[in-house]
């Protein structure tokens, strides 16, 4: 099983233990709404688990993918509160199939603004 297969498995199962195991200890997460890259498994896990809760509802789907030897670009679409969201996950894997870098890019601007608010709420809830 490849790292990409494991990612798709996580998105279907929502198994947080599987997500944790999939992340390299030095994983880096780049958000469309946070300026600085978030470094380390702990913070990457929090962002990805929160993003899955915010975005990963029944309307979420990956609509295309582009793969390389050590990574993939996955285009996704979903609708939240009537706003259509289109974006890409750019994922890099190490030789063991663990995620080393995860970058999310989203459009349009009103979707980014809404995601900023929803992610802040989700991350705050995860802190308590």
Locate the domains of the chain by residue range: 3-127
Helix axes 109-127, 41-55, angle to 10 degrees: 120
pLDDT at 114: 87
- Residue 81 CA to residue 83 CA, distance in Å, equals 6
Provide the Cα torsion 94, 46, 16, 122; round to 10°: -140
CATH fold of 3-127 reads Nuclear Transport Factor 2; Chain: A, (3.10.450)
Percentage of residues of the chain with pLDDT beyond 90:
65
User: For 46-72, how does the pLDDT look when each residue is reduced to its tens digit (9 = 90+)?
Assistant: 989 888 888 887 889 999 999 998 999
pLDDT band at 1 (very low <50, low <70, confident <90, very high): low
- Residue 32 CA to residue 14 CA, distance in Å, equals 22
pTM to 2 decimals? 0.90
Q: Is it the case that residue 43 has pLDDT exceeding 90?
A: yes
Q: Is it the case that residue 127 has pLDDT exceeding 70?
A: no
Q: Of 99, 95, 2, 3, which is closest to residue 48 (Cα–Cα)?
A: 99
pLDDT band at 76 (very low <50, low <70, confident <90, very high): very high
């Amino acid at each position: 099983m490849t790292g990409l297969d494991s990612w798709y498995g996580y998105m279907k199962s929502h198994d947080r233990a599987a997500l944790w195991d999939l992340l390299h200890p030095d994983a880096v997460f780049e958000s469309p709404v946070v300026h600085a890259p978030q470094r380390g498994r702990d913070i990457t896990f929090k962002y990805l688990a929160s993003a899955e809760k915010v975005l990963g509802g029944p309307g979420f789907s990956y609509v295309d993918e582009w793969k390389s030897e050590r990574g993939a670009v996955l285009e996704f679409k979903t609708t939240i509160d009537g706003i259509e969201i289109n974006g890409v996950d750019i994922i890099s894997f190490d030789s063991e199939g663990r995620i080393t870098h995860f970058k999310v890019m989203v459009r349009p601007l009103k979707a980014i603004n809404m995601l900023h608010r929803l992610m802040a709420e989700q991350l705050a809830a995860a802190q308590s």
